[in-house]
Amino acid sequence: MPITLHELANGIEYLGIGILLLSVLIGLVLFARDLLQTRQLEPAYHALRQQLGRGILLSLEFLIISDIIYTIAIELTLDNLLKLGLVVLIRTFLSFTMELELTGRWPWQKEANENKP
């Protein structure tokens, strides 16, 4: 029995949610490990934030893919297209601001060592 586009979109959406949950679990385990090893809250906290941020960014990509499949291939209406556009704008803004927070630079800015020949 072939997979329908609706099932594919749902599967990708669940994958995005799974990545998010797995990222939280990994982040908490690493946080506990770092805290027990170093007994310093600040480095463990920053490592946790980095892990969670990376997990959120990756899961957002999968959720956007799911939304695109659902909107374009399943139910293409002007209302759904406008909603998709708004969701993509919000998620893009969120991705950019999270990238800035995680790396200290915008996604289109190169690292200092990338500029050297």
Position 23 scores a pLDDT of: 95
How many other C-beta atoms lie within 10 A of the C-beta of residue 59? 20
Alpha helices in 39-73 (DSSP H): 41-68
pLDDT of the chain along its 117 residues, tens only? 678 888 999 999 999 999 999 999 999 999 999 999 988 988 899 889 889 988 988 998 898 899 888 888 888 888 888 888 888 888 888 888 888 887 888 878 876 555 555
| CA dist list (Å): 1 to 4, 7, 11 | 9, 12, 16
What confidence score (pLDDT) does residue 94 get?
Answer: 84
